[in-house]
């Protein structure tokens, strides 16, 4: 199992993909058939109370912001189940915990047999909400930009004096950790640092915070940027942080693993692939309701890759439309170049690299053997 980290609950793959466990879909795709995405990453709103300086949502504004009603969200779950989506992550371009649809969406997806994961800042994720959703979630990952209250508040909110947001997040994470233990829940809890070179001093405090909180993991990942460098991520400076990153990983304990997404960090923002096959397996939906192959294409700039809005029409109709196949085929054709026509390191990066290597014959995908890793339905 590539890049798997052994935790107390099983093998955790954060720095690779899980396509081998969905070989049925790989075979279908390889034979030229349209496939249902294994995973969908989405948000229930584009709103967010934070103002993270690394936030990719700053470059993802589509033409319209449509409000997603609870009924729309529940219909979406039904369509996912009908089509064959296996896992849904609430990450994408908004803070889904703010949506009225948040609790019903998770509970409905869980009862429909779809795994659900959620990335959140945890600020509005209080005891009552935690109790309603935690038993239904496969994983929760808290965005935690730094290990010290002042830096956390500077990076994620209005300034270092606003440490109330750090305190609130920590209180809610601690409650979730305790509830998981008390009820013996299967959910995996982690914190995530989106690393920009200017946050280098926070790498070790972040790792220590993960261990102190007793979460299952603390993960450190690169920061994405659009192809024009709007966020100003200096990829050439990541190498200077390798020593601190190794030091952070060494702080791992039996309970808490500190994991660095080395594969993405070492890519320095330049993918090996030109064709973009990943969205066929891992689709993204904006908190505005917009369905586009990838979050890289939510901005109005990429309108030619917009497939529809699930608030205006059923997702199943979008999935079965000519638009869906035409746009997916376009990304897999010589009309599109992932190296020059989209931002860096999308959520589909690992999957796209593996599918591209498969097509090129560099490394053929084969069916998985043995036990499934944790979170198998999140590619």
Partner 1 sequence: MVKPDLNTFTYTPTNNWTLFTPEERVEKVQAYIDKKSVYADIKVTVADKNGHVVVRIDHSIPANERGLFLLEMEQELKKNIDVGITIWLEPVGDKSKLRQLRGVEVKT
Whole-number Å distance between alpha carbons of 357 and 193: 29
Nearest CB to partner 1, comparing residues 6 and 303: 303
Q: Which of 211, 235, 215 is nearest to 225 (CA)?
A: 235
Nearer to partner 1, 142 or 298 (CB): 298
Please name the residue that has the structure tokens 């829940």: 185
CA–CA distances in Å: residue 31 to residues 28, 164, 168, 238, 359:
5, 54, 50, 39, 11
Give 191's strand partners. 142, 218
* Residue 255, token pair as written in the block: 């309970």
Name the residue nearer to partner 1 (CB basis): 304 or 369.
304
Shortest Å, Cβ 318 to partner 1: 7
Which distant-in-sequence residues (6+ apart) come within 8 Å of 114 by Cβ? 77, 80, 81, 85, 86, 87, 88, 377
Identify which of residues 87 and 295 has a Cβ nearer to partner 1 in the complex: 295
CA 239, 245, 247, 250 torsion: positive or negative? negative
The 3-state secondary structure of 201-253, one letter per residue: HHHHHHHHHHHHHCCCEEEEECCCCCCCCCCCCCHHHHHHHHHHHHHHHCCCC
CB 119, min distance to partner 1, A: 17
Please say which residue, 113 or 361, places its beta carbon nearer to partner 1.
361
Work out the number of other CB atoms within 10 angstroms of the CB of residue 195.
25
When the beta carbons of 122 and 373 are compared against partner 1, the nearer one is 122
User: Minimum distance from CB of 352 to partner 1 (Å)?
Assistant: 12
Q: How far is the CB of 176 from partner 1 (least distance, A)?
A: 25
Nearest approach in angstroms of CB 157 to partner 1 is 9
CB of 309 to partner 1, least distance (A): 4
Strands, DSSP E only, in 322-374?
none
DSSP 8-state secondary structure symbol assigned to residue 79: H
Which of 168, 115, 104 lies closest to 142 in space, CA to CA?
168
CB of 339 to partner 1, least distance (A): 8
Residue 220 CB-half CA count within 13 A: 33
Minimum gap (Å) between residue 24 Cβ and partner 1? 23
| Residue from 95, 49, 50 nearest 68 by CA | 95
Residues binding partner 1 (CB under 8 A): 46-51, 53, 55, 57-65, 158, 226, 228-231, 274-275, 290-291, 299-309, 312-313, 318, 321-323, 326-327, 330, 333-337, 340-341, 356, 359-360
User: Measured from the CB atom, is 280 or 299 closer to partner 1?
Assistant: 299
Residue 87 CA, chain-centre distance (Å), reads: 12
Of 69 and 359, nearer to partner 1 (C-beta) is: 359
């Amino acid at each position: 199992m590539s890049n798997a980290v052994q935790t107390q609950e099983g093998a955790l793959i954060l720095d690779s993909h899980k396509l081998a466990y969905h070989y049925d879909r790989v075979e279908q795709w390889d034979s030229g058939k349209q496939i249902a995405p294994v995973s969908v990453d989405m948000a229930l709103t584009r709103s967010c109370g934070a103002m993270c300086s690394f936030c990719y949502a700053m470059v993802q504004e589509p033409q319209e912001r449509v409000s997603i009603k609870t009924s729309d969200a529940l219909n979406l779950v039904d369509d996912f189940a009908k089509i064959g989506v296996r896992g849904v992550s609430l990450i994408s371009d908004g803070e889904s915990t703010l949506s009225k649809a948040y609790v019903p969406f998770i509970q409905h997806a869980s009862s429909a047999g779809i795994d659900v994961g959620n990335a959140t800042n945890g600020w509005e994720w209080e005891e009552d909400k935690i109790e309603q959703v935690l038993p239904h979630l496969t994983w929760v990952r808290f965005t935690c930009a730094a290990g010290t209250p002042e830096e956390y508040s500077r990076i994620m909110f209005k300034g270092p004096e606003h440490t109330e947001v750090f305190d609130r997040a920590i209180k809610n994470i601690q409650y979730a950790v305790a509830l998981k233990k008390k009820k013996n829940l299967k959910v995996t809890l982690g914190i995530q640092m989106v690393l920009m070179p200017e946050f280098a001093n926070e790498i070790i405090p972040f790792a220590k915070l993960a261990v102190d909180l007793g979460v299952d993991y603390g993960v450190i990942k690169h920061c994405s940027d659009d192809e024009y460098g709007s966020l100003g991520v200096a990829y050439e400076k990541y190498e200077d942080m390798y020593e601190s990153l190794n030091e952070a990983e060494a702080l791992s304990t039996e309970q808490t693993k500190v994991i660095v997404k080395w594969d993405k960090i070492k890519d320095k923002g330049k993918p090996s692939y030109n064709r973009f096959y990943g969205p066929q397996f891992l689709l993204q939906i904006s908190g505005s309701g917009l369905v586009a192959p990838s979050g890289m294409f939510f901005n109005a700039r990429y309108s030619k890759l917009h497939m529809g809005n699930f608030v205006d029409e059923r997702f199943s109709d979008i999935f079965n439309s000519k638009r869906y196949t035409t746009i997916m085929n376009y990304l897999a054709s010589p009309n599109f170049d992932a190296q020059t026509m989209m931002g860096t390191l999308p959520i589909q990066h690992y999957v796209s690299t593996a599918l591209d290597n498969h097509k090129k014959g560099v490394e053929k995908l084969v069916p998985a053997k043995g036990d499934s890793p944790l979170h198998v339905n999140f590619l």
